[in-house]
Amino acid sequence: MQVSVNGRSHEVNVEPDTPLLWVLRDVLGLTGTKYGCGISACGACTVHVNGEPVRSCSMPVAQVEGKRVTTIEGLSRDSSHPLQKAWVAEQVPQCGYCQSGQIMQAAALLAKNPKPSRGEIVRHMNGNICRCGTYNRIIASIQRASREG
């Protein structure tokens, strides 16, 4: 099966029902995408498929054939995406485990809505759990990235 991840095409030899998460992590070695719940309830595994945020733990790899998958590793080459810079400036991560998913979720928002209100940010981000409770810093970072581009 062919999958396109971060602009590169890969031939992967897995069953079509294998969750995309495990193909990314264990076949392609892209371990920035995390396993948190396995049931689309926490958002730690969020990646983009054709620019839309999806929970890779619950998406069979067969469904992304012919589509573009982007992971945290592909968001920028050098942590230069405005959200990554804002995340550092606001010192968002604590344990950090959920943050790849948070950033990917936020990146999908800004791609469609460059100037989201606080309410729009909260609605868009509410499916992503941060157990360290960095939510307000996440909001501040999205606003900063929106401002500073």
Partner 1 sequence: MNATVKPGFNPSRRRFLAGAGGLTFCVAIGSDGIHLLSEAQANTASRTMSAWVRIAPDGMVTILSAGAEMGQGSMTSLPLILAEEMDADWSKVAIEWAPADAAVYGYAMNNGRAMAIVGSRAVMLYFNQLRLAGAQVRKVLIANAAEKWGVAPASLRTEPGFVVDPASGQRMSYGEIAGFGAVPAELPAVDKSELKDRRQFRLIGKSVPRRDIPAKVNGTAQYAIDVRLPGMVYATARHSPVHGGAPESWNEDKAKSMRGVIGTVRLPDGVAVIADSLPHAMAARGALEVTWKEGRAEGFDSEKALAETYVQVHADPSAKRRTLDSKGDAQAAFASAAKTYKSEYRSDYGYHAQMEPLNAVARFSAAGDHVEIWEGTQAPDVSRGRIAKALGFKPGQVTLHQCYMGGGFGRRTLGDYASEAALIAREARRPVKLVWTREEDMAHGMFRPQSFQCLEAALDPDGKVTGWTHCVVGDGGVLLATGIKIPYYQVPHQHIEARGVPHGVRLKHWRAVGHVFNVFAIESFVDEMAAAQGMDPVDFRFQRMSISPRARAVFEKAVQMSDWKARRPEGRAVGISISERSGSLGAGVAEISLDRATGRIRVHKAWVAIDGGLVVQPEAARANIESGIVYGLSSVLHERVTLKGGVVEQSNFHDYHVERMADVPEEMHVAFVERDAAPSGLGEIGNPWVAAAVANAFYRLTGKRLRHMPFTPARVLEALQA
> What is the total count of residues that contact partner 1 (CB under 8 A)?
59
CB under 8 Å to 10, separation ≥6 — which residues? 2, 3, 4, 27, 28
Question: Applying CB under 8 A, which part among 36-44, 48-56, 62-70, 107-115 lies near partner 1?
Answer: 36-44
Q: Which is nearer to partner 1, 32 or 67 (CB)?
A: 32
Do 141 and 86 touch, CB atoms closer than 8 A?
yes
User: Least distance from C-beta 72 to partner 1, angstroms?
Assistant: 4
Q: Angle at Cα 82 formed by Cα 69 and Cα 46, nearest 5°?
A: 35
Binding track, positions 86-115, relative to partner 1; x by CB under 8 A = -xx--xxxxxxxxxx--x------------
